[in-house]
Structure 1
């Protein structure tokens, strides 16, 4: 347990993490990878280069410390981070390594503020945070392994088929190399693809949303806009990939409320999976999508077919350029009538897009408790 004195010291020193600048985060990861280079097989090195991962780690630790006296919010954050960690195969032995480098970084860069007393408080708090996550992750690993078709660690799949969904997005149909059953998943979840790209030193891991159900396998739909996605787009049929089991908590809430699915660009992928589930029910669904133009509108024909077959489905599109959409320019939720006070809203897409839609919804008197969202990458708070 964290003593009242230690908790007070944590609160007083939170700005050290909450406002951690580039120098702090760069020092931490330089130190971490220098002492434990094998961790580069786990961390997304593209996010390292952009600074997203560094910011996310320090922001998450600051949020954990803030919520230590708020059990409900602490439980929500623990579940959210644990889902990401099990997808990346984070193990208990990684926590002491990260903790030691975190404390050493703060000790080095803030010698005046990070006194031995403050360090002791943070070491205590980090131990509590680590224990919470290790316990939550152990339960998820066991659940994944014990379910029908489940497994632990990485399992070999191969690309059985691929289909172009739009100018930059391909769907990949992945089947298990051993031919055995695969674990079920919940709409909105993702799988982690681990690959060793030729002429690179470290394995790369990326999360890709499961975009639709296929027999004894998984479908992911990938935009060609990064190191791993570019590699996948040039892979021939039969290419073998390593997959972690399905994970993620961006899933439909079990209620009878109307659902509004809002996506931008390749953020359409979890929405397609969710819609596959929702169209079997009687509740009304609004499917709102924005993209650059008709050539980049993934799953367009499938959505047209679904709308023709389901009178409870309302689809609306926005193109920033060209014809063929219901609206031109950027998405404006005021353009259509939505059940603002009754519905659950699900958002996925580029962070700037989701942040804009989130604030539109809040301005329209939608409660934050009605809004759920998924980040492609380190988590960020859209309300900030």
Structure 2
């Protein structure tokens, strides 16, 4: 437990962190990697280069300062981050290292304003927060390793099938090299893959949604080809161009807190944009297999037909449902499209049952627009679930 004095000091620094948080976290990562370059084998280099990781950490630190006296308010965000840490192999021994350089970065940026008293308070607070993460992640590691078909950290998988789903998206079917079954997952969860690209000093990690209903023989991920010059395109380009049937990838056990309860009877709306269709399709296929009586509305937005993935598979699974509706919205006018333009409140109001629980995934701008539209048409926020691909850029507390 933290003393009231420590709590007061940490909370009083929140306004300063709101202003300088990203500067502190940028300095933190620079100092951390200079001293411990081996940690670059864990962190997503693209998120570092784009500043997304720095912003995400700054938001987390700021939220922790605001809520240091009621850490239970942060638990949903802690679990979200902990899932990612577990899938990447972040361990308890990494936390003291992070704490050391976070305090050094605070001192480096705030200079004389970061008094010994402030640094001591933040050191104590960090220790409490780190222990929360370590405890949650230990439970996740134990669950991943001990469940049927589970394993620890990363395991070698073989590509047994590679399928082009659209002009941009290719699916990879992954089977354990030891021919064992794969552990089950909840529809919407993801796996991490780790690759060593020739010419790269460090391994690269990426998280991809599992894009099918569960089968014990294999996993499927469906990867969008990003622009090669874009930092986040390094791994996707490598997978598309260099990885083929018979090649191997290192894979971590399924993780993530964005998933649906397949067995619920409540109407569900699955809304996706672009490659955000991957977790949505997993949910659809799982419901079609296990709860065909559930009312399902499947809505997908794409630029055009050429980049529209899983069209035939969606149609096949919709036919299994007793009460299913499917809509496609193409941004560009196309003779094959049912609707054109952008997905907005007017369109959504005509598609979605007001009693639905809604799941949304896609590019950030798409998700922001859809979520605002859902609220506008009267869907309560507690029935709107969404997943950002990448580090959490916002920490919401209630």
Same topology, TM > 0.5: yes
CA contact (8 A) 1:358 1:383 kept: no
Question: RMSD of the alignment, in Å?
Answer: 1.8
After the TM superposition, which parts of structure 1 deviate over 6 Å for at least 4 consecutive aligned residues? none
Deviation at 1:380, TM superposition (A): 2.6
Deviation at 1:112, TM superposition (A): 3.6
Deviation at 1:71, TM superposition (A): 5.1
Q: Which residue of 2 aligns with 1:283?
A: 294
Pick the aligned partner of 2:309 from 295, 298, 306: 298
1:15-30 matches, within 5 Å, as: 15-20=15-20, 22-30=22-30
Q: Which residue of 1 aligns with 2:66?
A: 66
Q: Which residue of 2 aligns with 1:375?
A: 388
Tell me the alpha carbon deviations over residues 322-345 of structure 1, each in whole angstroms, 9 at most, x when there is no partner. 312221111114224355642211
CA distance in 1, matches of 2:55, 2:345: 31
CA distance in 2, matches of 1:82, 1:146: 18
1:170-209 matches, within 5 Å, as: 170-209=170-209
**Please, which runs of 5 or more residues in structure 2 have no aligned partner?**
227-232
CA distance in 1, matches of 2:190, 2:182: 14
* TM-score normalised by structure 2 residue count: 0.92
CA contact (8 A) 1:170 1:233 kept: yes
CA distance in 2, matches of 1:9, 1:88: 33
1:231-242 matches, within 5 Å, as: 231-234=238-241, 235-242=243-250
> Are 2:90 and 1:77 aligned?
no
Deviation at 1:45, TM superposition (A): 0.4
Q: Which residue of 2 aligns with 1:262?
A: 271
Moved more, 248-257 or 5-14: 248-257
Tell me the alpha carbon deviations over residues 294-351 of structure 1, each in whole angstroms, 9 at most, x when there is no partner. 0000001111223334341111111111312221111114224355642211111111
CA distance in 1, matches of 2:75, 2:25: 26
SS of match in other structure, 1:110: helix
CA distance in 2, matches of 1:216, 1:112: 59
> Are 2:282 and 1:273 aligned?
yes
CA distance in 1, matches of 2:29, 2:364: 24
Q: Which residue of 2 aligns with 1:219?
A: 220
CA contact (8 A) 2:358 2:384 kept: yes
Pick the aligned partner of 1:330 from 332, 342, 363: 342
CA distance in 2, matches of 1:15, 1:208: 36
> Are 2:36 and 1:36 aligned?
yes
